Amino acid sequence: MRRWPLVGGALAGAAGWAVYNGQAPKPQAFGRTFIGTPGDGKLMALTYDDGPNTAWTPTLLELLAKHDVKATFFSIGHYAREEPALLREVAAAGHAVGNHTYSHVAMPFHTDEAVRRELRLATEAIEDAGVEMARAQGRRLMRPPWGRRRPGTLRVLREEGYVPIVWSVTLWDWTKHVTTEKIMRKAERQIRGGDVILLHDGCNVAMGWDRSHSVQATELILTQWKDQHGYEFVTIPEMIERTGFVAP
């Protein structure tokens, strides 16, 4: 009779381990992903998911240009279809553009065939916009929506010629009732150098989403860590090259 609590506890522990390793950004148990070199070095990378967004991506591009910083944008494929000219502006400004699936699916809950289709449709939409996708070590960049992954997900990414990019600093700028002050409190607690920072210029829910707080936080992050503390902000391909990461 006493075995059942033990078995239940073991199953719950295994489930918790799987969820943690399949969604938390830093774990590598399911396969290697690029998260920067958190806590080590003066390089940092700003990354933006879920664009392009007509409401705030142009303002963000102006801000990054003012600070002479290049970032990495992970584009949702159907937004690339809707706003190809805006995505071209992102690329023309020297920023790296990567794949964020066509419709922002949670990839671990889909078949390999469905994942391949999402990747292909997103890449086609980006390239049809006239944008060359960023590459590192010969592979295109891809960020799984919500960072969700399983061993099979990462296997498909490798087979399709992508480097999986996650992050080391989560600023929760997509949450309800977010403010610039809340984002910056999280930044100050987490940023230690060598970080890949997750922010959003768009939203998977709809075009035109308010990302004013993300843009304002970007200004403050660059002012504090670049201008005051001398950190260098680079694209993901440059960070991979300069840190010696070897894609699996």
Given the residues 49, 50, 195, 201, select the one marked as catalytic: 49
Given the residues 95, 100, 104, 200, select the one marked as catalytic: 200
Residue 49 designated active-site = yes
Residue 200 designated active-site = yes
Residues 6+ apart with CB under 8 A from 30: 21, 22, 149, 150, 151, 153, 154
Q: How many helices (H) and strands (E) does the chain have?
A: 9, 9
Contact criterion met (CB below 8 Å) for 233 and 45: yes
Contact criterion met (CB below 8 Å) for 164 and 22: no
Contact criterion met (CB below 8 Å) for 172 and 156: no
Q: Is the dihedral of CA 239, 200, 99, 93 positive or negative?
A: negative
Burial of residue 59 (CB within 10 Å: 0-12, 13-18, 19+) is: middle
Catalytic residues: 49, 200
